[in-house]
Amino acid sequence: MRILFCGDIVGKSGRDVMVRELPALRRNMKIDFVVANAENAAHGFGMTEKICLELFESGVDVITGGNHTWDKAEIIPVLERDKRILRPLNYPAGTPGRGSCAFTDGRGRRILVVNIMARLFMELLDDPFQAIQDVLPLAAPKHGGFEAVLIDLHGEATSEKMAFAHMVDGRATLVVGTHTHVPTADAMILTGGTAYQTDAGMCGDYDSVIGMTKGPSINNFLRKMPRQRMSPADGDGTLCGVLVESDDRTGLAVKVAPVRVGGRLSPTENGA
């Protein structure tokens, strides 16, 4: 199976590059399933149902969130009724929505998608290392009844993401980090067969400070006065993601590669 994970979609630049590029990418790269993180899609903070529907229309199958999931309150009832939109798994019991869900692709293959949040330099949610044990089968994905298991680990610290990935190595098809908005150059298949990249990068305008306009972002570092209001940069966006090819007989990865299309980042070839 060929799976594309797209990193944090930031504002209109991020949404535009998804709508513009994803349909052709999906077709040309023979992608079977697409997951995208959209917690910054609504002007940098949160997501709305309208935005989610636009992303589904452009070829996204499942949307994941993070610490900004809740910024637009209107999404909360949508999280309850639309299983295609996930929030991190390790929020306290009773939090609206869900952190994992099983899906079936057009060929009847079962795909488990999990969204979970790290804790270093983040909100102190439930322990993600423990929380994942409740939803992740103990063996390779296929033995747990899935052709693929995809985990979006939303977090700041590279060490925490890497430790988490090694802990679940062999039990997931892909562990990919989100939240830092900068793609890391460590796409690899871990020794147990799980594809990994510490951060997928963002889908948005890179002529910015992690997606936000440069001036206010610089001023917030220069001055200790009340912070200036941040808004997303609105130039040409780069679609940043990770492509994984997996073996349906095991649910483990056979190939992983970064994907970059459009905007300022140097493009990947996206050939095979």
Q: Quick one: 39 or 61, whose CB is closer to Fe ion?
A: 39
Phi, psi for residue 25 in degrees, rounded to 5: -60, -45
Phi, psi for residue 151 in degrees, rounded to 5: -120, 120
Cα gap 189→252, rounded to integer Å: 9
The amino acid present at 169, given as its one-letter code, is: D
Q: Is 179 in the site for Fe ion (CB under 5 A)?
A: yes
**181 catalytically annotated:** no
Quickly tell me which residue has 């936000």 as its tokens.
Answer: 212
- Kindly report the number of other CB atoms within 10 A of residue 94's CB atom: 5
| Site pattern 135..174 for Fe ion (x: CB under 5 A) | ----------------------------------------
Q: Is 181 in the site for Fe ion (CB under 5 A)?
A: no
Cα gap 170→173, rounded to integer Å: 8
Q: Is 183 in the site for Fe ion (CB under 5 A)?
A: no
Selecting among 43, 68, 143, 166, the annotated active-site residue is 68
In this chain, which stretch among 22-30, 67-75, 221-229, 231-239 interacts with Fe ion, using CB under 5 A? 67-75
**In whole angstroms, how close is the CB of 237 to Fe ion at the nearest point?**
17
- Report the site for Fe ion in 7-66 (rule: CB under 5 A): 66
Q: Is 237 in the site for Fe ion (CB under 5 A)?
A: no
Cα dihedral sign for 162, 166, 167, 173? positive
**Residue 269 CA from chain centroid, whole number:** 21
Provide the residue count of the chain: 272
**In whole angstroms, how close is the CB of 210 to Fe ion at the nearest point?**
10
Q: Is 67 in the site for Fe ion (CB under 5 A)?
A: yes
Q: Is 90 in the site for Fe ion (CB under 5 A)?
A: no
Contact set with Fe ion (CB under 5 A): 66-67, 179
Query: What are the residue numbers of the active site?
Result: 68
